[in-house]
A and B are shown apart, each in its own frame.
Chain A
């Protein structure tokens, strides 16, 4: 059976620049797959090639076994939001959706349902030029859902959403996946993606650096060590340092990078030290991300 999304050996050159380099990954139905990478890593170019907007230099990208432009019923197969909602500023939100609905033979009732779903019914008559980024994102999401598609491709969908909107989006994406749909989501909000994604594809400089279930990737990453606070932490730090541990911090709180909580606890007991706090620090998705992509090579943006 074909994967919901299959990218194989995808490569794209823009003149001398190699934006995507022999990239391969798959996305399966019933899973939310996070697509991560620094700015300029080639995420958006990859999604645009997947959706037939950019022609690959080589390689292929298919949705349910077919290239996107060859799909017989694209609206009911794939829904996508790219670069936020792109709108004509003089057209109302409702009319924006209606232009897309009419092109695919979808009635106005579905448009109204979606406006309710994304909480834009009250603003739907207003010209889209006055919409906030969050409203544009929600309208874009409504457009992606017009055909109740089997596959969703979302590029930074949480941009501009308030915490309530982000939580709604997370629950909504989980619900879509539980219904058997495939969701591919690129995002910079790593903590958010850590709570949403089942699988993760990480790319850097156009190449895949990791593709696995999120839990596998997290467990593969280096542990975060232990944080200890209290009156005797300075002495504890000295003892651990002399024993070869990597210790950092100040006289009131230290972090031991390469020892477990149990190992540090035994040292504390052996030397009868007084502490007030001992907290294991787990590796976050952010730590893993920086480890895999080489420490934020994309720079600030």
Chain B
């Protein structure tokens, strides 16, 4: 299993798309965090970490989701799934190794992104005399865990839907558009915003405090992990039965 995880980490490191997504996520967070903390006029009630978490958390999570999907669907898109399965015939072991590799890198991405946000807030808070420390710990934990779990969800989606474009477009449309639209339906309105993918991910970011519309951070983390595990489990069942013809 360790050999296969090493191989999967190496695959991610040796494709430009992955490196680009990783770099873009960090660049967006770095530049935007510095700009916001340096130039925005915060009033007395504003919390810089809350703003950064609400604005940039979803972007990093979405990119992590895409990284997870790419880690699987690239194999099918380019046909490398065939030589890979000739070396690792156990499909479940292969996909779980991909999951571990993506989780490791997404944890790093989430932690560094969170650290940039928290660090920018703290430094500019001192310099410009605004509250740059509130939610710092929760934001760091939320960014780290939230990014990792979204990447894991992406791996599960990729295992379930082999078509790369379909998987990425589908999950992004659902996350950014469809879930909000479905949330307008009266009998769904009461629970989807709270328990849906977006609501749970936002709650996990840790910047909503005691807001009753959001789950607590630990519960949100467990629920998102459950969602990712369910998608992954369904994907693995389908994957085992599927014919690999390309």
Where the two chains meet, the residues of A that have a C-beta atom closer than 8 Å to any C-beta of B are 48, 51-55, 68-69, 71, 74-75, 78-80, 82-83, 85-92, 95-96, 98-100, 102-105, 140, 143, 146
Contact = CB atoms under 8 A, between A and B. Distances in A.
A181 to B, nearest CB: 16
Interface in B79-118: 79-80, 82-90
Contacts of A91: 11, 14-15
B173 interface: no
Contact of A102 (B7, B74, B79, B83): B7
Contacts of B241: 55
A52 B89 contact: yes
Contact of B80 (A52, A55, A88, A146): A88
B244 A86 contact: no
Given A53-B245, A54-B244, A71 B7 contact: no
Interface in B5-62: 6-7, 10-11, 14-17
A74 B7 contact: no
Contact of A103 (B4, B17, B246): B4
A149 B27 CA distance: 46
Contacts of A87: 78-80
A86 B243 CA distance: 17
Contacts of A146: 87
A100 B15 contact: no
Contact of B83 (A52, A78, A86): A86
Given A54-B245, A91-B14, A92-B14, A82 B3 contact: no
A68 B16 CA distance: 33
Given A80-B86, A103-B4, 9 more contacts: A54-B245, A74-B88, A74-B89, A87-B80, A88-B80, A90-B17, A91-B15, A95-B14, A103-B6
Contact of B3 (A53, A86, A102, A143): A102
Given A53-B243, A78-B86, A140-B83, A90 B15 contact: yes
A71 B89 contact: yes
A104 B78 CA distance: 21
A75 B243 contact: no
Nearest to A70: B89
Contact of B84 (A80, A83, A103): A103
A54 B3 contact: no
Given A91-B15, A103-B7, A104-B3, A48 B244 contact: yes
A100 B10 contact: no
Given A54-B243, A103-B7, A74 B79 contact: no
A74 B86 contact: yes
Contacts of A88: 11, 15, 74, 78, 80
Interface centre among A48, A53, A87, A95 (most CB of B within 10 A): A53
Nearest to B2: A105
B243 A143 contact: no
A103 B10 CA distance: 10
Nearest to B88: A103
A74 to B, nearest CB: 5
Contacts of B89: 51-52, 68-69, 71, 74
Contacts of B6: 102-103
Contacts of A90: 15-17
Contacts of A96: 80
Nearest to B244: A53
Contacts of A100: 7, 83-84, 87
B21 to A, nearest CB: 13
